[in-house]
Amino acid sequence: MLGTVGTANAPAYVTSKHAVVGMTKQMAIDYAKDRIHVNALCPGFVDTPMISFFTQDVDTKAGLAAAHPWNSLGRPEDVADAALFLCSDEA
């Protein structure tokens, strides 16, 4: 998610995510002639140990969840399922 928007106090993290999105777009253009698809997953907040500092507080966790249309944090399985789909012949 932070590859498409900004946030305060995280310049290196946000910059790296924007770089991945830009690289994905560029590679998609470069490989389109060979009919190779290039995708990036931008899952938003996923309930993992990486954000556990924030999710320990009930109000902060609710605020993070509210940033998603379904009012819930993502699960690692959600990201894994999306990645598996993109690796499949169905993508």
Split the chain (91 residues) into runs of 10 and give each run's mean pLDDT: 80 92 97 96 93 94 92 96 94 85
As given in the structure block, the two tokens for residue 29 are: 């253009």
- Per-residue tokens: 41: 């997953």
CA distance linking residue 49 with residue 19, whole number of Å:
24
- pLDDT confidence of residue 91: 85
Determine the 3-state secondary structure of 60 from DSSP.
helix
The sign of the torsion formed by the CA atoms of 12, 48, 61, 84 equals positive
13 is catalytic: yes
Of the candidates 6, 13, 57, 75, the residue annotated as catalytic is 13
Query: Looking at residue 9, what is its pLDDT?
Result: 85
Amino acid at 63: G
Q: Is 56 helix (H, G, I), strand (E, B) or coil?
A: coil
